Amino acid sequence: MDKAWKRCEREIAERLGGKRIPINGREECDIEHPWLAPEIKYRASLPEWFKAPLRQASVSARDKLAIVIWHEKGQRHEADTVVMKLVDFEEYFNPKGKEG
């Protein structure tokens, strides 16, 4: 039986329309995909300080896309990180390339 993190990678690959790449000393991302380079991180839990801003953005969003932008002091904004819910990503960016 697969370990939980492998199962997680497979499930996300399927949702995105990609294929999980097995670990074999690879330097590629976790999922092969035509236009995404997904790296999946599996954790037993995420810290509240990480989750709370997205909840706040989601409450305010109404019909807009809720995102959080993480900025590190002293870094250029090109290096900022954007975080959003997977379901919102799927709805807005249609990673499987289906019509609709």
Two tokens at 53?
A: 């801003």
C-alpha 14/C-alpha 28 separation (Å) is 18
Two tokens at 82?
A: 């954007």
Q: Look at the block and give the residue holding tokens 């991302």.
A: 29
Residue with the bigger pLDDT between 63 and 99: it is 63
Predicted model pTM: 0.85
**pLDDT classification of 20: cutoffs 50, 70, 90:** very high
Burial 25-56 (b: 16+ CB within 10 A, else e): eeeeebbebeeeebebeeeeeeeeeeeeebee
What's the number of CA atoms in the CB half-sphere (13 Å) around residue 69? 8
